[in-house]
Structures are given as C-alpha cells and as structure tokens.
A and B are shown apart, each in its own frame.
Chain A
Amino acid sequence: MAQAQMADVQDVRVDRPAARLSLAHVLVAFLAFGIAAIAGLLQGLVRGGVITLPKWLNYYEVLTAHGVYMGLVFTTFFIIGFLFSGVARTTGGSLPPAGLRLGWTGWWMMVVGLVMATVTVLTNNASVLYTFYAPMKASPYFYIGTGLLVVGSWVGGFGIFASYRAWKRKNPGKLSPLFTFMAVCTMVLWQIATIGVALEVVLQLIPWSFGWVPTINVLLSRMLLWYFGHPLVYFWLLPVYAMWYVNIPRIIGGKIFSDSLARLSFLLFIFLSTPVGFHHQLMDPGISPEWKFFHVLLTMAVVVPSLMTAFSMFAVFESAGRAKGATGLFGWFKKLPWNDVRFFAPVAGMIAFIPGGTGGIINASYQMNEVVHNTIWVTGHFHLTVGTAVAMTFFGIAYWLVPHLTGRQLTPAVNRLGLVQAVIWATGMLLMSGSMHILGLLGSPRRTAYTTYMNDPTALSWMPLQGVMALGGSLLFISAMLMVGIVLYLAFFAPKGFEEYPIGELDDTAETTPRFMERWSVILSLAVFLIVIAYAYPVIDVIQNAPPGSPPLRTW
C-alpha cells in the first residue's frame, strides 16, 4: 500500500507549460556555460604561457566574459529553471498561471539584460570583471544589462513565491513540500542579497557612468557590492543543498534524514549569509578592525548550517547503505550507486566541497587573509566551491531534469558518457584548483595575465605550476563541451520516454516539523535585524564621512 502510493508520487510529471519555462532557463544556462568555458580555456592557456592572445583580444575582456557568464548567467538561469521545475514537481506537477506569467516575464528581462551585457563585454567596453570595481568605468549599458539580469531574477523569484502562495491557499494549515520551501528560501535570500548591488548600480554606477554626477564614493560602492557578494555564493549553494537534501536520497534508494533539520539549515542561511560581507574586505582601508572582526564572527556562524548538512549527507548515505545490508564502519560506502551519474557527479561535488569549505574558513579568518587575499588561492577556492560542488551538482541535475522536461530518457550509454564527463571535470579541477591553491600560498596573484614581472626569479618559479593549471583548464574545457553536447542530446535527440524526477521521501519515524519555520514575518524580521546590526553603522558612517570621490576612468 505505502509502496504503491510512493510509486504514484514518483510518477508525477512536470506538466508542459511548467516544463517549457524550466527548460528555457536551463538551455540559456548551458549556452552561457559553453561560451564561458571557451573563455576559461583561453585564460588557462595564456596564464600557463602556452599561447598569446592576438592583439585585438584583451585578456581581461576574456576574463570578464568568463566571470559574467559562469558566475552570473549560468548559475542564475540554471537555478531559477531548476527551482521552477522542483516547485511544480512537488506541488502536483504544474505551476499556477501567476507563477508561469512571472516566470516568463523574468526570463525575458534576464535575456534582454544578458544581450546588453554581452554586447558591451564583446566590444571591450566593459572589461571591468564581474565585480566591476569603481572607479573603473564600464559602458552604462553594461550596468543596465546586469541590472536587468538581477531584476529579471527577482521577477522569477516572485513567480516562485506566487506558486508557493497558491499551494498554501489550496492546502491551508499544511506544511509546504520540502523542495518548495527550499526554493522559497533561496529566492528570499536572493531578494535580500541583491538589494545591495541594486542600490550600487542604480544610485551610484548608472548616474556616474552617464556623467550625471562627477565622482563616486568608492568605499560605499565596495560595501554595497560585498553586502551582495557573499550571499551570492549562498544563492549558488542553496539549490545545490536542496538537491542534496531532497533528490539524492531518492536516487540512492534512501530516505530524507530529517525534514526539520533541513529546513532549519536553510533558515540559518537566510539569517547569516548576508551580515558577513566585510570578510571580503578584510584588507580594505576605511573599515575599522572591530567591525571587520564582528563580520568574521558571524561568518564562522554561517559555517554551522554547512556542518549540519555534512552530517545529514553522511547519515543519508549510511542509512541507505545499511538498509541494503552494509556492515562495518564504512561498509555502506560500497553500497552507493557509484555508476549512476545522477549520483556520481553531485557526490564528486560534495567531496570537492570539503577542501572548498575549509579554504573558505581560512579566507575568513581575519588577519590570516593576508596570506591568501587576492592570490590565485582564492580562484582555486571558488573553483572548488562554485566550479565543482555547485557545477557538478548542476550537471547531475541536468542528467535527469532535461530528459524529464522533454519527455525523453537518460539512456545507459549517456549515463556512461556522463560518468566520463564527470571524471574529466573532477580531474581537471583537481589539477587546476590544486595548483592554484599552492601558487596562492607562494604569493602568485589572481586576475592577472601571463607575466614574469620582468623576469623576477620568484615569479619565474611559479611557471611550472601555471603549466599544470593550463592542463587542468584544458581538461575542464573538454568536459564542458561534452556536457553541452549531452544537454543538447537529452533535450532534442534522446529516445522518448519517462525519466523520473527523483524526490526523496521522509522516514516514517520523522517527527513533525515545528510551525515557526514558515512564519515568514518572524524569519524576515530576524534577518533584517541582523543586517541592520552588522551594516547600519558602517554604511551610515561611510556616507556621512565619505572619502573624497573618484572620477570615472577607463584603464583598458
């Protein structure tokens, strides 16, 4: 009986309108991913000293394209597409009309923003990297384009909120499905986070880049950017955690470890991921050491929900393995479906997240940041986190999401090819990020074209490892092209059929989740309260006692 019910639940299919919306996002995401991968290959080869770019192509233009396309476009489009599909899947298979309408409006806004930003980047009028630090001034249309991308993502988020509200109205008093709750949390976090960058773009960068105001308060622009910059990485991470908590248990034939703990960790991310931005500015002038230290303290607190997640993941694996008869301390490890790419790719990502997260703790450890700040260690760090943990989980999702949405199947052959793709990616990252971490500790800087600093012996000693970086980057490129090809195959050419959208079930022994977890007024108030504590004084201070402003400059 229970078994039959469960089978029914797993048969739920995302209906055509919702599937089209989700697929539109996912396909743009992988298009951006492919372009960004080409840029990444060029960078790796230049930095490794293998090739030199032609005169008409600026290294930093390529670097800007890589950052914008990977960090902003691939992630944002994929996340919104995935979340829409999961919300539809867990609320009965469809999205309400308001959800679809907002979803498509957001998609169009993001696409228009993407085109504007692309034109400015490709014409070399916006080689300011995706952090666009003032007073380097890009074309105003770059800021407007990226601004539209963000506002479009808000509208997409409103679509998710509308779907959640519609479900709540139909099911009064009931606890929302776990995935839908996580999707709402992710978009709530995103709304809170992007306020900072929206203020920077609208109030500072756009008027200044058009020449309506002569100078800009650089310190304020940095604070607003980094108010956004850290929760940005949690915006990437939360959908990944949603996949780990909700989809993985079903894929491995286990149960969700704890519904309430999963929700609690997401709420902790909403509270703690924003009031921590100064840990990106530990080496900045103009911010007092006490405020920096306070943000460091809160940064350590935001590690806790990740510690909870680590425990939950191992617990899900071990329980599933023991249910299949595993014995001994680590016997369950062998019972996991290692030859299923839907499992293997995300788990490779999880493994990378261990050194990735550890590096993050080191980066945020106040004065220790002096060892690694703006060295290529940091590049290695976020290639493990977003480039491996997040990206490989997105790959793992795409392997079943794309065929599910298009009514096709993940065939055994594609599964095998997927394993190869994942192994190449993981190997490439191991080589590239590994050498980046070592080089960073030796002092080699990030975001720098090939240089020996006029044959400085120290800089020359970095060259062999930069060669390893280039090798890793080449493997990543091969894997990326394979991935794009597989996505296209799964979307348009794979055999027709039904591919399951795996959603984990709760353990029978699971206790009911406390109601306060969906009291949004309380949740949002607490989040705002923490942000006010962490930011109000420093921001007001830097506005009232503003350093002399900077005029716009084009230095490329």
Chain B
Amino acid sequence: MAQTTAPQTQQRHEEHTESLRGTLASVMILGTFIVVCWLGVFILFLTRQ
C-alpha cells in the first residue's frame, strides 16, 4: 500500500523486534512441550523393548 522510505522501514523493524518478546517466549514453550512429549513416548518405547 503506502510507500515507505528505507530509514523508516528500518526503524519499524526495530520496533517489531522489541515487541515480539512474548512471541519468542510462547513458541519456545511450545517447542519444549513437543520435546517433552516426544521424549516421554520414546522412553515408553524403550522400556517396552
């Protein structure tokens, strides 16, 4: 839509970085959940061998 000049874009991106801390934290929690579940079933697999 609106044309933006390069310096402005630069500045906006920095703002973005600042404001996505919660996102990074959320996806990392999600990643941890995946790893914990996967390991749980893998351990179950090993104990049943």
* A residues apposed to B, CB below 8 Å: 2, 307, 310-311, 314-315, 317-319, 322, 328-333, 354-355, 357-359, 361-362, 365, 367-368, 370-372, 441, 505-506, 508-509, 511
Cβ–Cβ contact A314 & B45, under 8 A: no
Q: A358 and B33: CB pair below 8 A?
A: yes
Q: For chains A and B in complex, what number of residue pairs have CB atoms within 8 angstroms?
A: 76
**Residues of B contacting A362 in the complex (Cβ-Cβ under 8 angstroms):** 37-38, 41
Interchain CB contact (< 8 A) of A332 among B4, B22, B30, B37: B22
Across the interface, name the chain B residue whose C-beta is closest to A6.
Answer: B1
Contact across chains for A322 and B19 when beta carbons are under 8 A apart: yes
Please state if B45 and A354 are interface contacts (CB–CB under 8 Å): no
Chain B residues, Cβ within 8 Å of A307: 27
Query: A370 CA to B2 CA in the complex, in Å?
Result: 55
Which positions in B face A, CB cutoff 8 Å?
1-2, 4, 8-9, 12-13, 16, 19-23, 25-27, 30, 33-34, 37-38, 41-42, 44-45, 48
With A508-B1, A508-B2, A509-B13 in contact, is A314–B42 under 8 Å at CB?
no
Q: Please report the C-alpha to C-alpha distance between residue A355 and residue B33 in the assembled complex, in whole angstroms.
A: 8
Q: CA of A314 to CA of B29 in the docked complex: distance in angstroms?
A: 12
Provide the bound-state CA to CA distance between A359 and B40, in Å: 11
Known: A371-B45, A509-B13. A365 touches B23 (CB 8 A): no
- Interface contact A311-B1, CB-CB below 8 Å: no
Question: Does the CB pair A371–B25 fall under 8 Å?
Answer: no
SS of A interface (majority)? helix
Closest beta carbon of chain A to B41's beta carbon, Å: 5
CB B40 to nearest CB in A, in angstroms, measures 9
CB-based contact B38/A361 at 8 Å: yes
Q: How far is the CB of B8 from chain A (nearest CB, A)?
A: 8
Within the assembled complex, what's the spacing in Å between the Cα atoms of A354 and B16? 25
Cα of A509 to Cα of B16 in the assembled complex, Å: 10
A314 and B23 contact, CB distance less than 8 A: yes
With a 10 A CB-CB cut-off, give which of B12, B16, B44, B45 has the most chain A CB atoms: B45
Contact call B41/A315, Cβ cutoff below 8 A? no
Closest CB pairs A-B (n = 8): A314-B23, A509-B12, A314-B26, A318-B22, A315-B23, A322-B19, A358-B34, A358-B37
Complex A-B: 29 CB contacts under 8 Å: A2-B2, A307-B27, A310-B27, A311-B27, A315-B20, A318-B23, A318-B26, A319-B16, A319-B20, A328-B22, A329-B21, A329-B22, A330-B25, A355-B37, A358-B38, A359-B37, A361-B38, A362-B41, A368-B41, A441-B41, A441-B44, A505-B1, A506-B1, A509-B8, A509-B9, A509-B12, A509-B13, A509-B16, A511-B9
